């Protein structure tokens, strides 16, 4: 659904919301003219983001952005704008934009905008200016943007929501239902909230998720990326684990876990071992398989220390399967040295399945060493089918002499 500017609802596009490096998000600086809703000093979460009514914050704290920290006259703005327009060096161009934003205020904002409007709507210069304008002027910037030809509303809206999330969200809540369904409007608000308070943004997405919003999975994925960008991995993992149960949570948890294992497998494995339930087993399996790509021995040692259940079996199997892909001979020696336990059964089942296509006879021989009757039966059927596919005549001859029961032979033949 595309909402025309004439109806004031923002034809928002996906935007890059990072501000350039000179901005200072400090509660102590208020040179931009944005008023603080609470006095300086120690602030509780409630004081920072307002009181609550029906679970929704009512008032917020506008934080300084560094915009308007110095005075610039018209000639200086035009001179810096000329340098910005023709500068080829990206670092010097960024510095020129920084000068313009430092000198921007409510009176000269449209003049400053003229210095960047020639840039592509997707360029960092165009996006950063409109983010800063929204952060400085709030709804006034959004209203003025309705009259411009360019697609500037997304960044402007995001800038507003990043410094005054309560006001921006109140505006959003006042829209009629059809307008709130607009993907671009919703994502514009979300990106601003995520730049201000990730807990606040998470509440917003959960509300959409519980309402069955079709974009809730994509929205949560955006938050996942933001969490991984700004929070330590253990915090991001705990955040993901605390989301409402369901497919969206599982997808986010998997994504966070993969990043966690890549960055710190030891800490990730310690965290994963504390998880319970089906999702916990799924995460443990993912940790085991991902870690095995870098250190299969350490990963297998960890997996074998998990509680004895189907999750442990799956994790051990995942490690052995990956390790076999890397070094089949090393796994062969490891299996020969393992005591006859359930762990060995799980390892052999995975090993047999992995080598069945290349060496079905060895896969059959290993499968026959599995102690558990059901696991042994499944492994033999898998290896036998691989042989049947590779060489049907040899497979039928093997079946006649195998001594296997009729039902297993039928499973392999069919």
pLDDT band, very low/low/confident/very high, at 189 (cuts 50, 70, 90) = confident
Residue 376 lies in a domain: no
Report phi then psi at 353, rounded to 5: -65, -35
pLDDT band, very low/low/confident/very high, at 281 (cuts 50, 70, 90) = confident
Query: Count of H helices and E strands in the chain?
Result: 24, 2
Residue 303 lies in a domain: no
Cβ atoms within 10 A of the Cβ of 397, count? 11
Residue 358 lies in a domain: no
- Measured CA to CA, the distance from residue 346 to residue 277 in angstroms comes to 20
* Chain centre to alpha carbon of residue 156: 24
Residue 238 lies in a domain: no
Q: Can you give the pLDDT at residue 175?
A: 82
Spell out the residues 6+ positions from residue 163 whose beta carbon is closer than 8 angstroms to its own. 34, 62, 63, 65, 135, 138, 196
Collapsing DSSP to helix, strand or coil, 316 comes out as: helix
Q: Token pair for residue 183?
A: 């993907």
CA angle 12/16/22 to nearest 5° reads: 130
Collapsing DSSP to helix, strand or coil, 294 comes out as: coil
The whole domain housing 86 covers 1-196
Collapsing DSSP to helix, strand or coil, 52 comes out as: strand
Residue 97 lies in a domain: yes
R_g over Cα of the chain? 30
Q: Can you give the pLDDT at residue 92?
A: 92
- Measured CA to CA, the distance from residue 261 to residue 9 in angstroms comes to 42
Residue 274 lies in a domain: no
Q: Can you give the pLDDT at residue 364?
A: 94
Domain count, the chain: 1
pLDDT in tens, 117-141: 899 888 889 989 999 998 998 888 8
pLDDT in tens, 62-96: 345 567 778 889 999 999 999 998 988 889 999 99
Residue 114 lies in a domain: yes
- Measured CA to CA, the distance from residue 255 to residue 260 in angstroms comes to 9
Residue 126 lies in a domain: yes
- Measured CA to CA, the distance from residue 214 to residue 130 in angstroms comes to 28
Pair type for strands 56-57 and 52-53? antiparallel
What pTM does this model have?
0.63
């Amino acid at each position: 659904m595309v909402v025309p500017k004439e109806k004031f609802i923002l034809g928002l596009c996906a935007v890059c919301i990072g501000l350039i490096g000179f901005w200072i998000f400090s509660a102590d600086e208020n040179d931009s003219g944005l008023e603080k809703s609470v006095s300086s000093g120690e602030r509780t979460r409630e004081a920072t983001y307002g009181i609550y009514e029906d679970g929704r914050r009512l008032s917020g704290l506008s934080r300084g952005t560094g915009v308007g920290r110095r005075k610039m006259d018209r000639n200086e703005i035009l001179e810096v704008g000329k340098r910005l327009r023709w500068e080829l060096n990206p670092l010097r161009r960024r510095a020129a934009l920084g000068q313009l934003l430092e000198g921007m205020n409510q009176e000269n904002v449209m003049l400053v905008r003229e210095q960047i409007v020639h840039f592509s709507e997707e360029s960092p210069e165009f996006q950063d200016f409109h983010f800063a304008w929204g952060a400085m002027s709030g709804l006034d910037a959004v209203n003025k943007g309705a009259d411009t030809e360019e697609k500037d509303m997304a960044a402007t809206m995001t800038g507003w929501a990043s410094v005054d999330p309560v006001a921006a969200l109140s505006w959003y809540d006042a829209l009629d239902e059809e307008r709130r369904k607009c993907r671009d409007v919703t994502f514009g608000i979300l990106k601003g909230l995520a730049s201000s308070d990730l807990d606040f943004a998470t509440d917003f997405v959960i509300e959409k998720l519980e309402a069955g919003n079709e974009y809730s999975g994509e929205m949560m994925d955006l938050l996942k990326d933001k969490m991984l960008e700004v929070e330590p991995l253990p915090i991001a993992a705990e955040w993901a684990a605390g989301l409402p149960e369901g497919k969206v949570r599982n997808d986010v948890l998997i994504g966070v876990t993969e990043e966690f294992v890549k960055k710190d497998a030891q800490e990730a494995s310690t965290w994963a071992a504390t998880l319970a339930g089906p999702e916990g087993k799924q995460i443990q399996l993912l940790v085991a398989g991902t870690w095995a790509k870098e250190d299969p021995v350490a990963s297998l040692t960890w997996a074998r220390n998990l509680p004895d259940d189907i999750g442990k079996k799956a994790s051990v199997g995942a490690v052995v399967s990956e390790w076999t892909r890397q070094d089949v001979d090393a796994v062969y020696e490891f299996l020969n040295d393992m005591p006859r336990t359930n762990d060995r059964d799980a390892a052999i089942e995975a090993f047999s399945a992995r080598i069945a296509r290349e060496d079905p006879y060895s896969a059959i021989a290993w499968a026959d060493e599995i102690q558990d009757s059901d696991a042994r039966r499944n492994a033999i059927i898998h290896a036998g089918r691989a042989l049947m596919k590779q060489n049907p005549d040899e497979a039928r001859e093997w079946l006649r002499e195998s001594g296997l029961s009729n039902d297993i032979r039928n499973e392999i033949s069919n």
